[in-house]
Structure 1
Amino acid sequence: MFTFQDKIILITGASSGIGALMAQKLADRGAIPILTARSVDKLQELQSRIQGTSRIIPMDVTNENQVNAAVSAVIQEYGRIDILINNAGYGVFETFLDTSISEFDTMMDVNYMGIVRCTKAVLPHMVAAGQGHIVNIASLAGKIGSAKSSSYNATKHAVLGLTNALRQEMYGTGIYVTAINPGPIDTPFFEKADPSGQYVQNVKMFLLTPDQVVNSMMRAIEKRKAEVNLPFAAAAGIKLYQIFPRLADKFAYKLINKK
């Protein structure tokens, strides 16, 4: 029977949103969360609210040296990393024409290459141990495109492609790979992605709560699921979209494009 008790869990983007809630809930279940993000102040504030053992390591996922140093520090102190949760990421809702090349580059560097760097640093230790679990927080945006999200959609499509390929490579090794694909979540993510608040207002009735996402993620780890799509209704719609993309474009345009 799987238990989170004493599991060493490295979380990227832990300073706010679902990353912070993950840390709290995992600690409540007896895990030892390793809290990483760029903001030391936010990490310290989070750690003050966590019951049990936790550790803070300031880390920028775009900095390979910082990532490698953080992973080495965890291995030196605890001897292992049981679970890696690649959660760090951001979005900006702009049209393709309005999005600068530098924004495309930066977003891919954080959302996709950040996962590559962290997984590259952690995976050899998991392979040596013959056990581990990598959880990538992707998005339903990785399965379907929508207006004013070309840069963000591209990063999440890349994350899902990587996740699915890595799962195949790790088959039979004792290492599990999971993609969590939520729709819009009521978190500070939208402070940067949607400063006007228009998108949040338009999809308010469909917003997931952080609790819903984190609880689903924890169940996925316990059951070693390959993928979780949230919410269920949106996930069903995505499947239909993938089967009938042009027809879905025609009829679902107004529903999908709320930005």
Structure 2
Amino acid sequence: MVLLENHVVLITGAGSGLGLGIARYCKMQGAEVIVTDISTEKIQQLETEFSERDLLLTCDVTRIADLEFCQQQIVQKYGRLDAVIGAQGIFDGNVAIKNMTAEHRP
């Protein structure tokens, strides 16, 4: 048995760099992964590396509509989500999470 067998894991900012490394590790550990990135080109380049068990989506994590679309796709494909790993590089304006709203923009 591998560490993440039977787990569904979302990795944001996984089109390259650290996020991609995390997605590859989760897959190696048996997870079904959802790979998201703001860059459609990066997502397209990864299509051959990941299987049909996985889900690759273009998503800007600063846009509520994109996050809602991702949620719909995840629920449709898997019916659940076991873990989220945020590896995207965004600047939040140094606002505490507890002070953010869905409409918040730095």
Report if TM-score (shorter chain) is over 0.5: yes
What is aligned with 2:66? Answer: 66
Deviation at 1:2, TM superposition (A): 8.3
Give the RMSD, CA atoms, in angstroms: 2.4
Q: Distance in 2 between matches of 1:13 and 1:79?
A: 22
Report the AA paired with residue 30 of structure 2.
G
Which secondary structure state, in structure 2, belongs to the residue aligned with residue 84 of structure 1?
A: strand
Task: Tell me the TM-score normalized by structure 1.
Answer: 0.34
User: After superposition, where does 1:1-259 map in structure 2 within 5 Å?
Assistant: 3-50=3-50, 53-90=53-90, 107-108=91-92, 154=94, 158=96
Q: Which runs of 5+ in 1 are unaligned?
A: 91-106, 109-150, 163-259
Deviation at 1:13, TM superposition (A): 0.5
Choose between structure 1 and 2 for higher RCO, CA contacts under 8 A separated by at least 6 residues.
2
- Between the two proteins, the alignment pairs up a number of residues equal to 98
Q: Distance in 2 between matches of 1:22 and 1:68?
A: 23
Change (3 A) 1:12 1:79: same
Instruction: Give the number of the structure whose alpha-carbon radius of gyration is greater.
Output: 1
Q: Is the 8 A contact 1:27 1:53 kept in 2?
A: no
CA displacement, residues 120-163 of structure 1 (integer Å, 9 cap, x when unaligned) = xxxxxxxxxxxxxxxxxxxxxxxxxxxxxxx6xx36xx36xx5x
Q: Is the 8 A contact 1:16 1:42 kept in 2?
A: yes
Deviation at 1:51, TM superposition (A): 6.4
Percent identical: 30
Q: Which runs of 5+ in 2 are unaligned?
A: 99-106
Task: Tell me the TM-score normalized by structure 2.
Answer: 0.78
Report the AA paired with residue 24 of structure 1.
R
What is aligned with 2:104? Answer: none
Q: Distance in 2 between matches of 1:79 and 1:89?
A: 28
Q: Distance in 1 between matches of 2:11 and 2:51?
A: 16
Q: Is the 8 A contact 2:2 2:30 kept in 1?
A: no
Q: Distance in 1 between matches of 2:27 and 2:2?
A: 15
Deviation at 1:75, TM superposition (A): 0.9
